[in-house]
Chains A and B, each alone.
Chain A
Amino acid sequence: MFNLYGLYILFAREVWRFLKVSIQTILTPVITVLLYLLIFSSIISASREMLPGVNYLTFLIPGLMVMAMLQNAFANSSSSLFQARMNGNVVFILLSPISDFEFYLAFVGASVVRGVLVGFGVWLAACFFALVPIRHPFYALILAFFCCGSLGALGLVSAIIADKWDHISAFQNFVIVPFSFLSGVFFSISDLPLFWQQASFYNPFFYFVDGFRYTCLGVSEVSVFTSLSVGAGFFVLSSSWALWLLHKGYNLRS
């Protein structure tokens, strides 16, 4: 038995929730990325070639799209679930006939929707600076799904583990932000010293950024299939973590 309608309603609730506060959840992240674009493209010569045939501005935009997707997918599930836990209204979901897996699908699904919406918003806004093509839309969608899905699952994990808002923002500021800044959004990792170049290969976000750049521009530092595989692996890992915590009932069902 699968409570398909219940799953759909919980998913709809999650999407509806962020749409009700869309200035904060969609518009603000798009504006923030525009500011990055404005600043970095004026400091660094836009004509500088980053990858064969790719100037800095065009190089930057796919990375910024991924960064916005990562951060917003994470923010969506983590803040929604944590707020429901703190308010106590999470019990109304927990006492309804919705399974752990359905719960996971609804929250992560909404994170993917928000991440993709923000990513698309960034792309639209970036059109004022440079028209970035999307050469491989199918791969782009798959990567965006793995990227937002992984971060949505990690958002669930942190919302479950956290005891106060402080913990959520610590996870966001000490894990998500540094890893996304160091993933080669703003630079090509071949420009880095050898140690940091090697370290980048252990950063899963690097594969999302590099892979996504390939799907847009057709050039990348590692093969797109490597990026897709690492993305899939990271998605499975973070989902398993979230599902395991839900199954244990950790901090949700005492």
Chain B
Amino acid sequence: MDAVNIENLGKEYGSLKALSEVSMTIAEGAFFALLGPNGAGKSTLINILAGLTRATSGKAAVLGYDVRRQWRKSRYKLGVVPQELAYDPFFTVREMLTLQSGYFGLGAENRPWLDELIAALGLEDKVDSTMNHLSGGMKRRVLIAQALVHRPPVVILDEPTAGVDVALRRQLWDFIRGLNREGHTIILTTHYLEEAESMCEKIAILDRGRVIALAPKDELLNRYSWRQLRLQLTPESAVVFPSALEQKKEAAPEGELLLRLHREQDHIGEVLAALDQAGVRFSDLRIHEPGLTEVYTELTEAENHV
């Protein structure tokens, strides 16, 4: 059973195509990142899964339950942490959580779980405050607790760390990783690519409503075929390079040499030998392997130059 199954999903707002022919499956228990520039359609996709937006074409299901035809069951399976810090100004944190759990049909029997959530998210001191008295980071935690009141097996977090300081961000990631270990499927969007790279196993990149990449992280990283070789030159080094290497040169500070090398075609040993022969001497060497940032930039920019 897939946690999420999306087939040919499309959404149009008048003439604007927010999503076109988006298909993907997310396995149960996955830690999945949904990336893309602003306006790529990430939030539209999330809103369709949550039933807040209705797709124009195609279908989507959460744990096998169609989000339109079996909306009630699909909503029990899904918890969503929205991007905006929206809250109910009339109620305290505990009241909000109790009400939200009630909307899911859960009464007093769910109270121990709410207490557990409150403790896990460090909200004990704030349960009797209304949201307008809380800091941005605290509000974010309340929203996370609110999305989890009904113990949803699939959890979507739409930019959970936007505007959150470093310490809290680390806490939140620890908490989310813990959820994943307990078996929750985690789907998140973020603009911090290092975070997605360090935590997620599978990544989808959306751009202008289309899926431009959908692969396990390692595969995606391997797909990027360039790496950088940076040499710290010694004063006695030659400054004229073999012409074959000249075209691989990239702009570098004085006293350094920066080469952009192809993973497969450029053999590091051969490149170093050629440099040695030309009289290039260096005191230090570093190889920069590409990260998600490079892959992401290449993919999204390639799209934009079409």
Residues on A close to B: CB < 8 A?
1, 3-6, 8-10, 12-13, 16-17, 20-21, 83-84, 87-89, 91-99, 249, 253-254
Q: Which 5 A-B pairs have the closest CB atoms?
A: A9-B102, A88-B86, A96-B103, A97-B72, A97-B75
Interface pair A9/B99, CB less than 8 Å apart: yes
Question: Max chain B CB contacts within 10 Å: which of A4, A17, A91?
Answer: A91
B185 within 8 A of A: no
Q: Choose one: B13, B47, B104; the contact of A6 (CB below 8 Å).
A: B104
Interface pair B90/A253, CB less than 8 Å apart: no
Interface pair A87/B89, CB less than 8 Å apart: yes
Question: Max chain A CB contacts within 10 Å: which of B47, B80, B100, B103?
Answer: B103
Specify which chain B residues have a CB less than 8 angstroms from the CB of A4 in the assembled complex.
Answer: 105
**Contact A95/B50 with A1-B72, A20-B90, A87-B89 known, Cβ cut-off 8 Å:** yes
Interface pair A9/B103, CB less than 8 Å apart: yes
Specify which chain A residues have a CB less than 8 angstroms from the CB of B84 in the assembled complex.
Answer: 88
Given A3-B105, A253-B52, 12 more A-B residue pairs with CB atoms under 8 Å apart are A5-B107, A6-B105, A13-B102, A16-B91, A91-B52, A92-B100, A93-B103, A97-B71, A97-B103, A99-B72, A254-B13, A254-B52
Docked pose: A4 CA to B102 CA in angstroms = 10
Q: Choose one: A93, A97, A253; the contact of B105 (CB below 8 Å).
A: A97
Chain B 61-102, CB-CB to A under 8 Å as 1, else 0, gives: 000000000011101101010101011111100000001101
Docked pose: A13 CA to B91 CA in angstroms = 9
B8 within 8 A of A: no
Looking at the assembled complex, report how far the CB atom of B174 sits from the nearest CB atom of chain A, in whole angstroms: 25
Interface pair A96/B100, CB less than 8 Å apart: yes
Interface pair B146/A253, CB less than 8 Å apart: no
Looking at the assembled complex, report how far the CB atom of B190 sits from the nearest CB atom of chain A, in whole angstroms: 20
Looking at the assembled complex, report how far the CB atom of A177 sits from the nearest CB atom of chain B, in whole angstroms: 26
**Could you tell me how many residues of chain B have their Cβ less than 8 Å away from some Cβ of chain A?**
31
Interface pair B88/A87, CB less than 8 Å apart: yes
Docked pose: A99 CA to B32 CA in angstroms = 30
Specify which chain A residues have a CB less than 8 angstroms from the CB of B71 in the assembled complex.
Answer: 97
B54 within 8 A of A: yes
Interface pair A249/B99, CB less than 8 Å apart: no
Interface pair A253/B51, CB less than 8 Å apart: yes
**Contact A95/B13 with A3-B72, A88-B84, A89-B86 known, Cβ cut-off 8 Å:** no
Within B5-33, which residues are at the interface with A (CB < 8 Å)? 13
B53 within 8 A of A: yes
Specify which chain B residues have a CB less than 8 angstroms from the CB of A21 in the assembled complex.
Answer: 90
**Contact A10/B103 with A17-B90, A97-B76 known, Cβ cut-off 8 Å:** yes
Interface pair A95/B87, CB less than 8 Å apart: no
Q: Which residue of B lies closest to A106 (CB)?
A: B103
Looking at the assembled complex, report how far the CB atom of A151 sits from the nearest CB atom of chain B, in whole angstroms: 22
Specify which chain A residues have a CB less than 8 angstroms from the CB of B146 in the assembled complex.
Answer: 92
Specify which chain A residues have a CB less than 8 angstroms from the CB of B87 in the assembled complex.
Answer: 87, 89
Interface pair B54/A249, CB less than 8 Å apart: yes
Specify which chain A residues have a CB less than 8 angstroms from the CB of B88 in the assembled complex.
Answer: 84, 87, 89, 92
Cross-chain pairs A/B with CB under 8 angstroms, 20 sampled: A3-B105, A5-B102, A6-B102, A6-B104, A10-B103, A13-B91, A16-B91, A20-B90, A83-B89, A87-B86, A92-B86, A95-B78, A96-B100, A96-B104, A97-B103, A97-B104, A98-B103, A99-B72, A253-B51, A254-B47
Specify which chain A residues have a CB less than 8 angstroms from the CB of B100 in the assembled complex.
Answer: 92, 96
Q: Which residue of A lies closest to B88 (CB)?
A: A89
Within B94-139, which residues are at the interface with A (CB < 8 Å)? 99-100, 102-107
Specify which chain B residues have a CB less than 8 angstroms from the CB of A87 in the assembled complex.
Answer: 86-89
Q: Choose one: A84, A89, A97, A254; the contact of B53 (CB below 8 Å).
A: A254
Docked pose: A74 CA to B12 CA in angstroms = 34
Question: Max chain A CB contacts within 10 Å: which of B50, B54, B86, B90?
Answer: B90
Specify which chain A residues have a CB less than 8 angstroms from the CB of B80 in the assembled complex.
Answer: 95
Q: Choose one: A1, A3, A84, A94; the contact of B51 (CB below 8 Å).
A: A94
Q: Choose one: A83, A96, A249; the contact of B75 (CB below 8 Å).
A: A96
Q: Which residue of B lies closest to A87 (CB)?
A: B86
Q: Choose one: B51, B89, B107; the contact of A95 (CB below 8 Å).
A: B51
Interface pair B103/A91, CB less than 8 Å apart: no
Q: Which residue of A lies closest to B105 (CB)?
A: A5
Docked pose: A13 CA to B90 CA in angstroms = 10
Specify which chain B residues have a CB less than 8 angstroms from the CB of A3 in the assembled complex.
Answer: 72, 103, 105
Chain B 193-227, CB-CB to A under 8 Å as 1, else 0, gives: 00000000000000000000000000000000000
Interface pair B104/A13, CB less than 8 Å apart: no
Docked pose: A9 CA to B102 CA in angstroms = 6
Q: Which residue of B lies closest to A80 (CB)?
A: B90
Q: Which residue of B lies closest to A95 (CB)?
A: B50
Interface pair B86/A91, CB less than 8 Å apart: yes
Specify which chain A residues have a CB less than 8 angstroms from the CB of B52 in the assembled complex.
Answer: 91, 94-95, 253-254
Question: Max chain A CB contacts within 10 Å: which of B82, B91, B102?
Answer: B102
